[in-house]
A and B are shown apart, each in its own frame.
Chain A
Amino acid sequence: MRRATRWGILAAALAAVGAIAALAGTTGSHAAPAAKKTVIIGWAFDQAGQMAPFDNPALAAAKIRIKQINAKGKYRFVINTCDTQNNDAAKAKACALSLLGQGAKIIFTTCDVDYATPVVQETINRGKLAIAPCIGTDQMGPRRFGKKGKLAFSFGNVAQDEGSAMAEYAYSRGWKTAGLATNTRLVYFKNVVQAFDIRFRQLGGKIVDRESYATGQNNVQSAVTRLNSHKAAVYVTSTAFGELPAFVSGMRSLHNNTPILNSWAGDGTYWDTQNPKVTNYYCVTFASVFGDDPSAAVRKMIASLTAAGSPPGTGGFLGGADAIDGVYTAIKRAHGSLKGAVLAAQLEHFNHVAVLGSKVSFSKKWHTVFGRQYRVIKTQANKAKRVGLVTAKVLPKIH
């Protein structure tokens, strides 16, 4: 009896364990999926200041992209934001510290490297990854931030790549002579034209004139007048701000209808003048916002942004979405590690990695994207449309 009781208790216990295990298995497979790993991204950006036209679209695109990724991936990305209030240095630094304090593992920053510096330094000094959606120079990385700059990357296009792509497009169009006008205000502007200069000559093109001007110097019209006296197949510049319509309308007012080729800085139609209208004007950019981008995913993103009340004015929004894709790929390749050094090592090995709009590459030397397929936009009588695609084959050495 005593023996039988013992065996009975043991059998009952085993049955109970089995039942619990079965029940747990059932519940686990149907009611409670494995918890997603949360990744907090800190986004320090200029919400209503000078950089807002660049930062806001990038953030809006990133938020949409994150929703799409969260819906199907095993990670749950969360974006915490902080307004740097027109990139006030003290506020930007406080933003970085606040976001890091909220558990952010990766910090995104504004689209100008000078303004981004306080955020980047606070981030990389704590061993975290700093990402810019659209800085366009090779400064976002070790070149500016030294050894710790290994943790800093930009999903903007490095100016050398952009200038090279412009040269290849120009040469492919049969434009064998070019007149250059450099806006010396920004490193990005200068580097694009320098890269064009070198690559265009490598391809066999000839530079007939080199002019310079600067934002705020009131000398853009002098550069235009002098450039006008040199016949060329194309005039090349890289500029935005007030100098962009001044340059283009200045040239057309002189009855010179030579094609003008600009970088991403000249994307969009917000600056188009009515008299004279913008004609024979080209620029290269991340994506076409004029309804004719070749990528269905990009068109869908533009539709989502428009539906959300933030229609993009230039292709620069794509940097935000591409950066989220890039970070996501790096995390997956790092087996879920969020350590800055580990993610940076993964990013440095990016070689034609697919992101939303194109394929992007980084290297130990280049921490700003190269190899992106640019959309070439032509504006004729204030109507813009995509007329080509171009990818740079060579990164010219400009330093």
Chain B
Amino acid sequence: MTEKPGRTPAIVEARNLVKLFPGVVALSGMNFELHAGEVHCVCGENGAGKSTLIKTLSGFYTPDEGGVYVDGELMLSSTVASKAAGIATIYQEHNLVPDLSVAENVLLGNWGGHKGILSRREIRKRARKALDQVAPHLNLDTPAMALSTVDGQMVEIARAIAQDARVIIMDEPTTALTEQDVEKLYKLVDELRSKGLAIMYVSHKLEEVFTLADRITVIREGKTVASSVPADELDARSVVQLMVGKDVDLYEHIPRERGELVLDARGLSLAGAFEDVNLQLHAGEIVGLAGLVGAGRTEVARCIYGADKADAGTVEVSGRKLSLHGASAGIAAGIALVPEERKLQGIIPMLSIRENTTLTLLKQVSKWGVLQRGYEKKMVSGYIKELDVRTPSAETPIQSLSGGNQQKVIIARCLASNPKVLILDEPTKGIDIGAKAEIHRLIEQLARRGVAVLVISSELPELLELSDRVMVMRAGRVVAELDKAQATKENVIAYAAA
């Protein structure tokens, strides 16, 4: 750790921020300070006010009370003032222009030039200088769309450097990164810190927080609940408790009976995605599918489900061969899928919880194409109760629910079709810690009832905790099958990344 902060005055300080949106109090007394040469992590659940805090610091929002102070002076609430103060923000979603080159992206909007005429040489020189400090391996002429996620992030950080930023705000920077890339990012953050930059690192992944943080601030419900605590005075458990505001029962693995073979996939291949994949699932068993992003896990799941058509191979459910034609075939055969991207592939945002739940079984809730509303309502309210979906009513649009509750509705949709095989792709991505534990328990209960479960997760601890057996994929092939005892983090990573 660098020299203890505290004696130097803060570069950026948020004092008692209050921000109201119509009907919502986003911030209610938020304090935060950031010193040169430190990594200050901000932890909080979804909706705790992390994004609002970031947007206030970067000048997008004007706080209703309190203010942002830069070097002790009140900063105007504008993005221009924030930029002038040397604050640069790296958002979750990348802000690169895909068709422009790396060089142009590094200097985006800051091209300089003379009377609107740009000098290519000048741009390249300045971009190179900034890039050298962050990612010297990148080519200036590569179009941004050809970059990997982590390199895209590097370009954004280089942009911050090119703007002479003193403060870099990173908002959940590792969401889309693989384990290896995360290491790269760690190294970079370390270097930036030693150069004297102040880094605000927002994340709900505690592993990252404790790797990087000099100090930690925990926020909950728009308020600071632990302000600038040195990282070595906290541990993961205490941070979780601060974030959630109560004790969280963590998941515990209890062995289950393994039943008969339910799903038998043999020799599955899809050009460009995966090759010769064999996968067997037994009733009551939870199998984890591990691997780096891009190893072909999601593609395998989609092919088994029938959403995509495999080039070769067979899938049998309880001895009956599937046609693998369209998702409806998979559903009819008793396979259910909780898709990877909840927002893009799971929910129909404007429709109610009721309508979202019965989406896969419109046939069951209708007669001659006419919906039987009474029956539908009864069925849905049963699932709302069973899965403890927290909502005012079944008629609430699903998009107004929290991520965790949306996911429960998607799981309810899967359960309603009474599946023999349940495939969950990143089931807890972007979900609060509390809801996460509930979903884990739910998965466990389903397996206990005899459903064969396949879980795909990039969060290795989650995968290892849930699975009875772990299959590891690398570059489109299954490279290892590990039982509970063999499936350690080191083992899995070794196979996945070798």
Report whether chain A binds chain B. no
Chain A contacts to B: CB under 8 angstroms: none
Chain B contacts to A: CB under 8 angstroms: none
